[in-house]
Amino acid sequence: MFVTKKAISRRTVLRAAGTAIALPLLDSMIPAFAPAASTKPVRRFGVVYHPNGVIYDQWLPTGVGSNFELSPTLKGLEPFKDKLTVVTGLFCDPAEANGDGGGDHSRACGSYLTGVHVKKSDSNVENAVSMDQIAAKAFERETQLSSLQMTADENSLLGSCDLGYSCAYSSTISWLTSTLPLMAENNPRVLFERMFGSSDSTDPRVRAARLSEDKSLLDSVSERVNQLQRQLGAADNRKVNDYLASLRDVERRIQKAEEQSSKELPDVPQPAGIPEKFEDQVRLLYDLQLLAYQSDLTRVITFMYGREQTGRPYPQIGVPEPHHPLTHHQGNPEKMEKCAKIQRYHIALFAEYLTKLRNTPDGDGSLLDHVILLFGSGISNSDRHTHGPLPTFLVGGGGGTLKGGRHLVYPEHTPLANLELTLLNKLGVPVDKLGDSNGQFRELSELS
């Protein structure tokens, strides 16, 4: 018997005119006679950061273990309860003042993924390598991009933002080295071109000509796509068509945002590619995350709803006041409810993203089955700037390493770094120590 099936490389990309389009995992990428289940799932990791703390009483679930009920803030995650692990009792003690005075917001964000006490300075920053970058370093040989950093807020790393602390501490959670923060990008156009390339030159006149013609980046690889699809079966062709359709939809929305930003706000400087509406920007950023995972462009992504001390108002949900001043509610029920409303809003947008991950096939499961998403904040009580117990939960199957549907409660002052250390090891990145960690979580590790 002759075996004629030839597997397509997992790293296949379609290249033309400066554009590089990676492909999702196709059946044709699995060698002949190798069942899909025998292909080890790719494990992916993401962090979603919520700024300015929470109304903890409305965030905390009731019950422990598998017998728990979601809180009002987390109720929007009910459809994903089987993939949800809520972890309470965690603290980030390195974010405390330790003699440095004010600056809790900067320390909260700066210490979140490193577990160390950051240096108080507005120029000579000092932290540690963040856990997402430890994972990115381990995966970088397998992907085109080692990691992506995204934010829905302004993204400057310069200047002083919090009582003598550099803006770098509160504007990113990713640190490549102890002195090199990685700027989070808020412009979907920039991210799209970083991921998939650009079919124009750097000359702004050439860019303007392409945009005026509404020419898609994908048009330049259409012939290559047609050639590839003639080699694929029906199931793989559907996957490619769906994937390319999602790419086109993201690009269309970016281009529409560029048009609107120039037409609707002609007197207000606004970077091209950032939608006017917050929810549109967040949805675009989440869709770009999905595409990055689906095409295996990267396996590590961090996303911030906003920088610490963000003053973004949310009039679209009935909260016209700036976020940060509102969080200093001093127990005022009306202000507390508005803060909780913002938190529920962020969860609702996140749940939309989870739905898309669950509906996107990946190997023998879905992207949701093969990802670990850490959602949380470096501040607990926003009014008192406490750094624990931190609002923290995980979503995803981790390629079979995580079992959801549980609320795990640990003693107070259990280091947040313990959870992050455990996650690194579950991602296949063996690490013995991270920041102030003092061990791993047996309850999670036993499920590997």
- The pLDDT-based confidence of 194 (bands split at 50, 70, 90) is confident
- 410 found inside a domain: yes
Residue-level pLDDT at 202: 45
Alpha-carbon gap, residue 9 to 423, rounded angstroms: 29
Q: Do 173 and 49 share a domain, yes or no?
A: yes
Average pLDDT of every residue of the chain: 84
- 287 found inside a domain: no
Alpha-carbon gap, residue 130 to 57, rounded angstroms: 29
What does DSSP say about strands 406-415 and 361-362: parallel, antiparallel, or unpaired?
A: unpaired
Which pLDDT tens digit goes with each residue over 34-70? 444 446 788 999 999 999 999 999 999 999 999 999 9
Q: Do 23 and 60 share a domain, yes or no?
A: no
CA-to-CA separations, 127 to 95, 118, 365, 371, in angstroms, rounded = 11, 5, 38, 27
Whether the CB-CB separation of 359 and 366 falls below 8 Å is answered with yes
- 344 found inside a domain: yes
Helix (H) / strand (E) element for 438: namely none
CA-to-CA separations, 385 to 113, 149, 322, in angstroms, rounded = 18, 25, 17
Residue 270 has pLDDT above 70, yes or no: no
User: What is the average pLDDT across 387-404?
Assistant: 95
Q: Do 119 and 198 share a domain, yes or no?
A: no
Q: Do 52 and 84 share a domain, yes or no?
A: yes
Q: Enumerate residues 6+ apart whose C-beta is below 8 A from 150.
A: 184, 185, 186, 191, 285, 288, 289, 301, 302, 303, 304
* CATH number for 410: 3.40.720
- 66 found inside a domain: yes
Q: Do 158 and 206 share a domain, yes or no?
A: no
Alpha-carbon gap, residue 262 to 268, rounded angstroms: 9
Whether the CB-CB separation of 258 and 273 falls below 8 Å is answered with yes
Which pLDDT tens digit goes with each residue over 166-187? 999 999 999 999 999 999 999 9
* Gyration radius from the chain CA atoms: 22
Q: Do 137 and 153 share a domain, yes or no?
A: yes
- 267 found inside a domain: yes
pTM above threshold 0.95: no
Query: Any bridge partners for residue 92, and if so which?
Result: none
Residue-level pLDDT at 145: 86
Q: Do 164 and 127 share a domain, yes or no?
A: yes
- The pLDDT-based confidence of 141 (bands split at 50, 70, 90) is confident
- The pLDDT-based confidence of 208 (bands split at 50, 70, 90) is low
Residue-level pLDDT at 38: 47
Distance from chain centroid for Cα 80? 17
- 283 found inside a domain: no
- 260 found inside a domain: yes
Q: Do 311 and 182 share a domain, yes or no?
A: yes
Q: Do 167 and 181 share a domain, yes or no?
A: yes
Q: Do 156 and 212 share a domain, yes or no?
A: no
Q: Do 225 and 146 share a domain, yes or no?
A: no
Query: 3-state class of 276 per DSSP?
Result: coil
What does DSSP say about strands 13-16 and 165-166: parallel, antiparallel, or unpaired?
A: unpaired
Asked which of 227, 256, 273 is the last residue of a domain, the reply is 273
Residue-level pLDDT at 237: 73
Whether the CB-CB separation of 83 and 404 falls below 8 Å is answered with yes
- 336 found inside a domain: yes
Which structural domain, as residue segments, surrounds residue 29? 1-39+193-273
Asked whether the CA dihedral 412, 415, 416, 420 is positive or negative, the reply is: negative
Q: Do 98 and 201 share a domain, yes or no?
A: no
How many domains, in total, are found in the chain? 2
Which pLDDT tens digit goes with each residue over 297-329? 899 999 999 999 999 999 999 999 999 999 999
**If we measure between CA atoms, which residue out of 206, 111, 220, 218 comes closest to residue 168?**
111
CA-to-CA separations, 100 to 194, 237, 312, 382, in angstroms, rounded = 39, 59, 27, 19
- The pLDDT-based confidence of 406 (bands split at 50, 70, 90) is very high
